[in-house]
Each structure stands twice: as C-alpha cells, then as structure tokens.
Amino acid sequence: MNDAIVQIDGLDKSYGNHVALQNLELEIEKGEVFGLLGPNGSGKTTLFQTMMGQLTPTSGDIQVLGQDAYKDTFDVSKGVGFLPADIRFYDNLTARKNLEYLAELVDEDPDIEELLELVNLQEEADKKVSGFSHGMQKRLGIAQTLIKEPDLILFDEPTTGLDPERKEDFKDLIQRINKEKDITVIVASHILHEIENLCDRIGVLKDGKIQVTGTPEDIMDEADAETLEEAYLEITRGDFR
C-alpha cells in the first residue's frame, strides 16, 4: 500500500502562453518534512495553490490525502492547512477574533490561547491586526494552519519577514508539530538556509519542473557538489542534466 500523502503525476499548469508547471512529478510520504526549494517564479506558489484547488490544472493528476485536489477541493481543504506567502488577515479584527472567525467557518473549537502561545502572540491577541507587522501576520498565519487539526500543512515562504530569532523558533515549531502532532509538512522557500537542517527530503523546482528530489546528501551526490548550497546553485543556475 502506497503511503503517499501527496501524489502528483504529469501536472501541467499554464496561464495563457506562460507555462508555470510542466510535467511535474512528485510524491510525498506521510510524516515527512519536505522542502520545496526554488528561485522566485519557479512555480512553488502555483503548485501549492493547485494542491489547494484554488487553481485549475491544465492537465495531469494531483492527489492530496488520497483525493483529487481539483474535484474534491472541499474534502482536501478539510485536512490541509495552508499559509499563503502573502498572507493577510481581516484588519478590523483582533488576532483572536480572526482565529475565532476561521474556526467558526469550519465548526472547529480549537484552543485559541494555545495557538497564540505557540507563535508567541498571546500579548497581542486582543490587538487589531491592522497594527501588526508582516512578521506578526506570518506568525498568526502559522497559527491558523493548525485550526483544522490538519494532516498536512503547506507553508509558502513562511520565514519571509521574520527576524532571525523567529526564524529559528519557526524551525523548532515545524519539528514539534511534525513529531508531536504527526503532521506532514511541506515548506516552500527560495532560501536554502531556511530549509536545510529542517527537511527530511528536498525537491528543487526550476522553470515549473522538479529537477531533483532526495535527502540533502542525495542532492549533493546528484549535482556532484561538496555542499548543498553548491548543489542548489548548480541545479538552478547551471545546465543541470
């Protein structure tokens, strides 16, 4: 029995003449922390939005939690938490009210205090989000991904806008929710340092295609490089393959 929580076969996505994803193949297993690494515009956000059913695939098959991500969007979204890269909340509501509203939409009764504490926002809980910095909105965004008690969380550029200390906190948080709550995590980033030492496996995306997947060691071997950074540069800038 295949233990894949995400199974993508031959996925294509185009916007007019622009090809965002082409013949993308990817399999992610339950319990993994998977890093999706690629430069800006390589298709990471498009892939996440297609997995959430927000974008329609041009062709190919995309299964998330055993369901068709496009046809069964409602069921897929029940089990998947999503942090969009450009996340914003309702400015006129407080952090707590935003979380309560989202929880009410899904008939969940999460421990809001615990979620706020998890991202160190308990002191700002009753302040309106309009006064929040980008980093604070990101942290609140991370908290909202847990409202649904998901099996899978997609983090799109989660550490952008966070200060270095918070970035480390975020890495700890990912590992905690992966180990303690048994949640599969996919982290998309264009910055290698932010996902190395965090992910079990990494997939490098370039021009809408997964170039290589594997553990950091596998990737270094494939690119014939001494370090992961060197391998990443070789894959994304050079004539890899």
Per the DSSP assignment, residues forming a β-bridge with 12 are: 59
| Owner of token pair 């991370």 | 142
> Is 92 one of the binding residues for another protein (CB under 8 A)?
yes
Residue 52 interacts with another protein (CB under 8 A): yes or no: yes
Q: Is 184 in the site for another protein (CB under 8 A)?
A: no
Other residues' Cβ atoms within 10 Å of the Cβ of residue 40? 8
Position 59 contacts another protein (CB under 8 A)? no
CA distances from 205 to 114, 115, 139, 158 (A): 35, 32, 26, 17
**Strand boundaries in the chain, DSSP class E:** 4-15, 18-29, 33-37, 59-64, 67-68, 80-83, 152-156, 184-189, 201-206, 209-214
Residue nearer to another protein on the CB measure, 88 or 181: 88
Report the nearest approach of another protein to the CB of residue 58 (Å): 11
170 lies in the site for another protein, by CB under 8 A: no
Strands 4-15 and 152-156: unpaired
* Residue 54 engages another protein in binding (rule: CB under 8 A): yes
Site string for another protein, 135-164 (x = CB under 8 A): ------x--x---x----------------
Residue 104 contacts another protein per CB under 8 A: yes
Question: In whole angstroms, how close is the CB of 37 to another protein at the nearest point?
Answer: 22
* 105 is a contact residue toward another protein (CB under 8 A): yes
Given 86, 117, 126, 168, the residue binding another protein (CB under 8 A): 86
* Number of shown-chain residues binding another protein (CB under 8 A): 28
Q: CA 27 → CA 66, 103, 179, distances in Å?
A: 12, 30, 20
Residues 231 and 241: their CA atoms lie apart, in Å, by 13
Query: By the criterion CB under 8 A, which residues form the site for another protein?
Result: 49, 52, 54-56, 74-75, 77-78, 80-82, 84, 86-92, 101-102, 104-106, 141, 144, 148
